[in-house]
């Protein structure tokens, strides 16, 4: 009889210690968040996390102590220079979403892919069973083999793709490459020389930045494997002007309750940007690291690009049954 009481007591002690450690490890996780993750692709700021409803989150975590690395249930597949980093940061504010810190490049790089799912999983963050693991690698969008590979891993996965005005995307793409080259002391090309084919005086369809912006062509490949409902298309231009609206739609797509609100994302009039407030950092703003000036581009070149993309855009709109204000 006495023996049994002792056993009950020791079980109780173990439970308490486990609970305490679970709580304590949460605190550690919360305090060791990196804020210096300035991605090449960044539209925005460093990696910051989880400020929302701290009390609730800790209670939620309290009840489950099985933090594991899991394969992602959702992937942001692209496109480059459309705000993928910003979206990942914003979604990271949601307590039930755990983003991977870095672009893993699993499905677009044969060497990584051949290392297998265990390698991929090893690059994922620890999550509780009720959390969603989220990864982003914008190059998946344009990689031939990526749709089939992702389908083979999880045919019911939820995919997120950001698109923005295709001409703006080309300019932004060019600008990033331009400044990277400047920083490395390399020669730079003029925008016009890359985008316009000298012989034909038409848009140079061999220029990669132009190819990426023909979204129709790429999405067609994804829709060979995935149902339309599995791909959520985010308006990358509106993500900058009205982020909450776009984020709330993603929460809905992922089947999550709305947790990202005006409390966490607000417009700072002084800065002229949307900013987010996190536990660790007073404020992080969209557009801060963007500060690169876009080059001056002649109106006639812009016109040529817009005219070139228009028919492709039209095909895209009917393919995805969704329209954007790109004209
Ligand atoms: C596949 O993705 C769906 C949608 O996110 C998810 O519910 C499911 O658990 C995933 N399956 C596996 C084996 O990860
Ligand atoms: C807006 O940004 C400025 C400059 O960083 C800062 O001083 C100010 O406190 C911010 N305003 C709000 C409401 O957070």
pLDDT score of 150 more than 80 = yes
CA of 263 to the centre of ligand 2 (A): 14
pLDDT of residue 39: 32
Atom of ligand 1 nearest to the CA of 157: 2
Calculate Rg over the CA atoms of the chain: 23
Is residue 268 lining ligand 2, measured as CB closer than 6 Å?
Answer: yes
pLDDT of residue 217: 98
pLDDT score of 293 more than 80 = no
CA of 243 to the centre of ligand 2 (A): 18
Is residue 272 lining ligand 2, measured as CB closer than 6 Å?
Answer: no
Tens digit of each residue's pLDDT (9 = 90 or more) over 1-33: 445 555 554 545 444 444 433 333 332 222 222
pLDDT score of 270 more than 90 = no
Q: How far apart are CA 79 and CA 169, in angstroms?
A: 9
Give the residue, by CA position, lying nearest to ligand 2 atom 5: 271
pLDDT of residue 6: 52
pLDDT score of 174 more than 60 = yes
Give the residue, by CA position, lying nearest to ligand 1 atom 12: 154
Atom of ligand 2 nearest to the CA of 283: 14
For residue 22, how many other CB atoms are within 10 A of its CB?
Answer: 18
Q: In sequence order, what DSSP letters do the residues of 13-52 get, joined into one string?
A: HHHHHHHHHHHHHHHHHHHT-------TT-SS-------T
266, 267, 268: residue to mutate for ligand 2 pocket, most atoms within 8 A of CB: 268
pLDDT score of 301 more than 60 = yes
Buried b (16+ CB within 10 A) or exposed e, 182-219: eeeeeeeeebeebbbeeeeeebbeebebbebbbbbebb
Is residue 271 lining ligand 2, measured as CB closer than 6 Å?
Answer: yes
Tens digit of each residue's pLDDT (9 = 90 or more) over 114-124: 999 999 999 99
CA of 267 to the centre of ligand 2 (A): 10
Is residue 154 lining ligand 1, measured as CB closer than 6 Å?
Answer: yes
279 pLDDT band, cuts 50/70/90, is: low
Tens digit of each residue's pLDDT (9 = 90 or more) over 69-96: 999 999 999 999 999 998 999 999 999 9
The more confidently predicted of residues 79 and 61 is: 79
**Domains identified in the chain and CATH numbers:** 70-320 (3.40.50.300)
Q: Is 109 exposed, middle or buried (0-12, 13-18, 19+ CB in 10 A)?
A: middle
pLDDT of residue 284: 76
Is residue 127 lining ligand 1, measured as CB closer than 6 Å?
Answer: no
pLDDT of residue 321: 97
Is residue 158 lining ligand 1, measured as CB closer than 6 Å?
Answer: yes
pLDDT score of 191 more than 50 = yes
The pTM of the full predicted model, rounded to 2 decimals, is 0.81
Is residue 131 lining ligand 1, measured as CB closer than 6 Å?
Answer: no
pLDDT of residue 23: 37
The ligand minimizing its distance to the Cα of 74 is: 1
For residue 180, how many other CB atoms are within 10 A of its CB?
Answer: 12
Atom of ligand 1 nearest to the CA of 154: 1
CB 285 within 8 A of CB 268: yes
CA of 117 to the centre of ligand 1 (A): 14
Q: In sequence order, what DSSP letters do the residues of 220-239 get, joined into one string?
A: HHHTTTS-GGGEEEEEHHHH
Give the residue, by CA position, lying nearest to ligand 2 atom 11: 268
CA of 133 to the centre of ligand 1 (A): 10
Tens digit of each residue's pLDDT (9 = 90 or more) over 201-250: 999 999 999 999 999 999 999 999 999 999 999 999 999 889 999 999 99
pLDDT of residue 294: 76
The chain-wide mean pLDDT, for the chain, equals 82
Q: Percent of the chain having pLDDT more than 70? A: 77
State in Å, rounded, how far the first CA of the chain is from the last one: 81
280 pLDDT band, cuts 50/70/90, is: low
Residue 325 sits at the vertex; the CA angle it makes with 300 and 234, to the nearest 5 degrees, is 120
CA of 270 to the centre of ligand 2 (A): 7
Length reported for the chain? 327
């Amino acid at each position: 009889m006495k023996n049994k009481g002792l056993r009950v007591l020791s079980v109780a002690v173990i439970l308490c210690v486990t609970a305490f450690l679970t709580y304590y490890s949460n605190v550690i996780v919360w305090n060791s968040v990196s804020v210096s993750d300035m991605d090449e692709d960044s539209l925005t700021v460093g990696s910051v996390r989880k400020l929302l409803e701290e009390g609730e989150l800790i209670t939620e975590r309290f009840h489950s102590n099985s933090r594991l690395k899991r394969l992602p249930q959702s992937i942001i597949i692209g496109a480059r220079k459309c705000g993928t980093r910003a979206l990942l940061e914003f979604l990271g504010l949601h307590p039930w979403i755990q983003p991977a810190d870095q672009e893993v490049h699993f499905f677009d790089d044969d060497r990584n892919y051949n290392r297998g799912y265990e390698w991929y999983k090893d690059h994922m963050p620890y999550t509780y069973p009720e959390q969603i693991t989220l990864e982003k690698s914008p190059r998946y969008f344009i990689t031939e083999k990526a749709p089939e590979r992702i389908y083979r891993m999880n045919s019911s996965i939820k995919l997120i793709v950001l698109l923005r005005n295709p001409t703006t995307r080309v300019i932004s793409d060019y600008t990033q490459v331009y400044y990277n080259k400047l920083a490395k002391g390399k020669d730079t090309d003029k925008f016009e020389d890359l985008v316009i084919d000298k012989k034909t005086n038409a848009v140079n369809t061999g220029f990669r930045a132009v190819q990426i912006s023909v979204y129709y062509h790429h999405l067609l490949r994804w829709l060979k494997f995935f149902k339309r409902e599995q791909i959520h298309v985010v308006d990358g231009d509106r993500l900058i002007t009205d982020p909450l609206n776009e984020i709330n739609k993603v929460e809905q797509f992922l089947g999550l309750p709305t947790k990202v609100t005006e409390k966490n994302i607000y417009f700072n009039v002084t800065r002229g940007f949307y900013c987010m407030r996190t536990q660790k950092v007073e404020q992080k703003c969209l557009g801060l690291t963007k500060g690169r000036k876009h080059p001056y581009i002649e109106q006639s070149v812009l016109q040529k690009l817009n005219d070139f993309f228009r028919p492709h855009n039209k095909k895209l709109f009917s393919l995805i049954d969704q329209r954007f204000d790109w004209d």
